[in-house]
Amino acid sequence: MRAFAVFTGFLACCLLISALLHYPLYLLLDGLLEVPAHKQVPRAAKLIALPGFFLLIIWLGLYHRKALGFGLPRPVFLRQMFIGWLYGVLILAVLSAVLIGLGVRTLDPVDDDFLFDLAKVLISGLIGGLLIGLIEETFFRGAMYQAIRRNAPAFSAIAFSSLLYAAVHFIDPVRLTEPVGWLSGLQILAGAFWQLGDWATLDSFIALFVVGAFLGVVREQTGNIAYCIGLHAGWVLIIKCTKKFTSNNHGSEWAFLTGSYDGITGYLAAIWLLLLISLYWLYIRRSTS
């Protein structure tokens, strides 16, 4: 699958360039940033990926609104994005409520700073969710999906874009145990993929793959990424709120339903989204028959 290899290679190149530039950037920014050295490689890779992405889509012939999933008129796009956001909030709110009901997550005591904390997490969740949704959906369900879909069936586009989408969430560099040097970036990069071979993260990986598949089905059926951005943004908001005001209860008999990735995304999330995919697919078939 050429398109899958191109997008995977693109992300790998961004990480490699960041690793090679790590030491000179570290010297240049020493004292200006409070980011640990091992965190600087993936963050610099994201900055490198931004201009690189535009070059990539121009090279692939995807530099136009429809190919990236933005083909709708702006008012329609924004309306669908808002509707998607409402659905995203509802979907994850149900999941969070079930986790609390099962005792997998427990509500934290309400203190004097509750209203301030609530306002802060709502603002950060709204802004952060929209930014994350816009960036990730443009890349995965926009450009990558379209690049694969041009020469392959929908199943392939959904599966391969979901696979890479899930995988990138588990790039987690380990902290350096020696002074930063010219080879530190490569050492950090070499140890950044340990979670992909860890069985403890399998449940979260499966859940994130299903998340990608859910969004891929929406992309296929709507022909754009408006709903995808909204859904993604709504999910981010509820995850932030849930993590802020509840805690993991590792002693619960149902604790296996959530993964180690964020304490929310796990087998239960995968089952819930698979059920929604099935209901959505049945609705589509019935409405078109």
What are the tens digits of pLDDT across the range 70-96? 999 999 999 999 999 999 999 999 999
Question: How far apart, in whole angstroms, are the C-alpha atoms of residue 255 and residue 257?
Answer: 5
Looking at residue 106, what DSSP letter applies?
A: E
The conformational region for residue 172 under phi > 0 = left, psi -120 to 50 = alpha, else beta, is: beta
Q: Which two tokens stand for residue 267?
A: 């087998």
Amino acid code (one letter) for 238: I
Exposed/middle/buried for residue 50 (C-beta within 10 Å: 0-12, 13-18, 19+): exposed
Please, which residues bridge with residue 107 across strands? 246
What are the tens digits of pLDDT across the range 182-229? 989 998 998 888 877 776 688 999 999 999 999 999 999 999 999 999
Angle between helices 2-20 and 154-168 (to 10 degrees): 20
Question: How far apart, in whole angstroms, are the C-alpha atoms of residue 238 and residue 230?
Answer: 13
Question: How far apart, in whole angstroms, are the C-alpha atoms of residue 228 and residue 88?
Answer: 9
What are the tens digits of pLDDT across the range 229-253? 999 999 999 999 999 999 999 899 9
> What is the model's pTM?
0.93
The answer to whether the beta carbons of residues 269 and 204 sit under 8 Å apart is no
Looking at residue 141, what DSSP letter applies?
A: I
User: Which residue range is the domain that position 227 belongs to?
Assistant: 2-288
The conformational region for residue 106 under phi > 0 = left, psi -120 to 50 = alpha, else beta, is: beta
Give the number of domains in the chain: 1
Amino acid code (one letter) for 194: W
Q: Taking 80 as the threshold, does the pLDDT of residue 1 lie above it? A: no
Question: How far apart, in whole angstroms, are the C-alpha atoms of residue 52 and residue 11?
Answer: 10
